[in-house]
Structure 1
């Protein structure tokens, strides 16, 4: 069945009753540059966060994005393992994951076909256990609803030759904060027009990928997450943990109706690349799992993340740009977050960040879906420091609802004690349409780096139930906003604006995996 373009209106969420199949020619078009108009209007409907509209122009982006479709099957791979109740398999299977070779062989065989390697259930078997896999150009790894792809617990399976030992605490992270070069990711996307997808059944359940970061690394008594905590105690060190999914410079990549859980480190890292779409993705890591960012678009361009649910132990989204190039034309829409450290831009901004829009976001602070208290409870956030700072311009947070968040707005160019010469310059940030509720201990920070690099901020239609604010080195334009910034080198100008504060009368529930 071919893909269809879905047009959305205010507060309308995409629901897919059955999974679809189409040619990868459609899939490839989905991942390319996209056009979306997402903003605040003066109508009554604008009082609620806005879902994405397809096929409508916005400056700086070239084409429209339709809802993805699942391609036809190139090669099915049937499960030979039953799902274990405790995520653990036999010692023999754990030592040598039995499904690695046959899944990778199918992926190698189907490269360039425009079709999927489909992981299917067979009788009572619905589990796959694998070492790291590579998704090649022009193909999709497809996990059927009810099926789980489990990642190896053996650090040796992930080892990158010539790099620090995977599964250990490595050297100083320095300016490459959070990169962890010793481990290859569990799923590496290394070709254009590729995808990682799940089918979605009538109950809403999706295919699942389980990184097992909560389980002991093979041959040890320490989990991937405990290793991360040990590294945290040694503040100049880095845990050598694998990411769950990394896109290595590939363009026109799609993730669709797939669920990710228990990642040992970042869930999805975009390492450059042009054209990425994530639609209907669910991510679940507890807040106790350090450095398990949801999506990290790093020096990536033309990115759309929409209609998704993210519960994780670090930033829900972190748009970054290292010295290798800018991050630009990134849109995050109609997505809900729990227990996150922020809906973030940064901390690496050295390559420059521009034209980034977050719209229709729901941020549930305080605790995650498991009841774990958020260790860093932040809402909308821009962060950097002089070790890896750069210009941030054209960043907009539109129609955002926050509940139980401590740091409601956190614009911080002194994120770490950087002592470099790469000065953060938060030149143009807009927050239009933000309501915070249940923020009894909440506050906001609005800061530029210094008088030469002031924060450029526009606040429109902002209603916070905790109005404490710390500000310095900032030029702030305001309309219909109930906070009163003041401080060293802070200039506030009242301007004429349009629109209204979102109502935030209800927040979405976690849909499950």
Structure 2
């Protein structure tokens, strides 16, 4: 796609097809709910919230993806055609009035293999930016996701029921989870996040749907700068399952309310018998400032199993520990945990790792060119 601003309705990709969005190009999603409509409800509030097709869909495909230094703009903050509010205003109204908003996701990848996203900027999605379901093999390299902090339900990248997903060298700020690893409809495993930077958002989450089981997650060299939660595992008895073999290494956090937020009671009034269990969770060289450090297992029979080695925060950070079996490594923790020695090694390496969110591409001034569907 050459330079210019192009407006399109929903696009469906075939196997092996790669969309190249050049540096000076913007592919913008239509703001007309009718072009996304599945059941007559897109652009409205109901009790289901599944009435819109996504802007871009990969379904049953192998190979291909989206590359280039251009922008895909979901236009979530623009007024919907035929309405008096934006997609985001509709979502916020659903929250206050009750019900679920029917708004499109920016990109869905369903039951596909070997999909690549490289250098592309994803901007202002009405809902989730990228949702994966039943995917085997996906790479996100050098991605920028940029959406306001108050844009409701605008997760960055959500791998669900998927395997072999890599997210690396990417920059994400959004209105919900920066990344959320889920397992609501199947097992999710072998997910790697390497050398990434997160800004505003709800942090790096596992859950809340973990009923299919989540395992073998590696997170290395991540900064979380101003996210509400930092490293987070969240679930409850309505959607719980086993989360195991999760390793966090060389993590820098600052200005987070809950830098560590491992909680098996995500929804206090949840009902069900799907007990969430977190085992073999390892934190090594995790450094932050202040806030609440939450380690909350389900009960004495289903404790949180965690190992902490070089987990260091300001002395005014506060541990909240319940039903947790905690091991500590040679570098210990700071502040000290009850019954554990105070870590003495004060790590200062994070000062060199904070980077500003990359500057946006220059403002586009080209006329909009509709794409035939």
In the superposition, the TM-score normalised over structure 2's length comes to 0.91
The answer for unaligned runs of 5 or more in structure 1 is 1-118, 173-179, 199-205, 367-376, 487-491
Superimposed CA distance per residue, residues 161-203 of structure 1 (whole angstroms, 9 cap, x where no aligned partner): 4xx611111215xxxxxxx4211110101211121111xxxxx
What residue is the counterpart of 1:505 in the other structure? 351
What is the root-mean-square deviation in Å for CA atoms of aligned residues? 1.8
- Of 274, 286, 302, which residue of structure 2 is paired with 1:434? 286
Q: In structure 1, what is the Cα distance between the partners aligned to 2:18 and 2:276? A: 39
Check whether the contact 2:130–2:156 (CA below 8 A) recurs between aligned residues.
Answer: yes
- Of 457, 460, 476, which residue of structure 1 is paired with 2:306? 457
Distance 1:300 1:501, change over 3 A: farther
1:485 offset after TM fit, Å? 3.6
- Of 189, 194, 197, which residue of structure 1 is paired with 2:58? 189
What residue is the counterpart of 1:411 in the other structure? 262
Q: Which has the higher strand share?
A: 2
What residue is the counterpart of 2:371 in the other structure? none
Q: In structure 1, what is the Cα distance between the partners aligned to 2:42 and 2:299? A: 40
Matched position secondary structure for 1:315 = coil
Check whether the contact 1:128–1:150 (CA below 8 A) recurs between aligned residues.
Answer: yes
What residue is the counterpart of 2:221 in the other structure? 360
Q: Is residue 2:72 matched to residue 1:209?
A: yes
1:419 offset after TM fit, Å? 0.5
Q: In structure 2, what is the Cα distance between the partners aligned to 1:500 and 1:328? A: 33
In the TM superposition, 1:32-111 aligns within 5 A as none
What residue is the counterpart of 2:294 in the other structure? 445
- Of 145, 149, 153, which residue of structure 2 is paired with 1:283? 145
Q: In structure 2, what is the Cα distance between the partners aligned to 1:418 and 1:251? A: 35
1:142 offset after TM fit, Å? 1.0
In the superposition, the TM-score normalised over structure 1's length comes to 0.67
What residue is the counterpart of 1:423 in the other structure? 275
Q: Is residue 2:230 matched to residue 1:379?
A: yes
Q: Is residue 2:42 matched to residue 1:170?
A: no
Q: In structure 2, what is the Cα distance between the partners aligned to 1:246 and 1:502? A: 40
Q: In structure 1, what is the Cα distance between the partners aligned to 2:304 and 2:136? A: 29
Task: Report the number of matched residues.
Answer: 353
Q: In structure 1, what is the Cα distance between the partners aligned to 2:303 and 2:337? A: 14
Q: In structure 2, what is the Cα distance between the partners aligned to 1:385 and 1:234? A: 25
Q: In structure 1, what is the Cα distance between the partners aligned to 2:225 and 2:108? A: 27
Q: Which protein is bigger by CA-based radius of gyration?
A: 1
1:501 offset after TM fit, Å? 4.4
What residue is the counterpart of 1:474 in the other structure? 324
Q: In structure 1, what is the Cα distance between the partners aligned to 2:70 and 2:157? A: 18
Check whether the contact 1:433–1:502 (CA below 8 A) recurs between aligned residues.
Answer: no
What residue is the counterpart of 1:159 in the other structure? 37
1:269 offset after TM fit, Å? 0.4
The answer for unaligned runs of 5 or more in structure 2 is 361-373
1:500 offset after TM fit, Å? 8.6
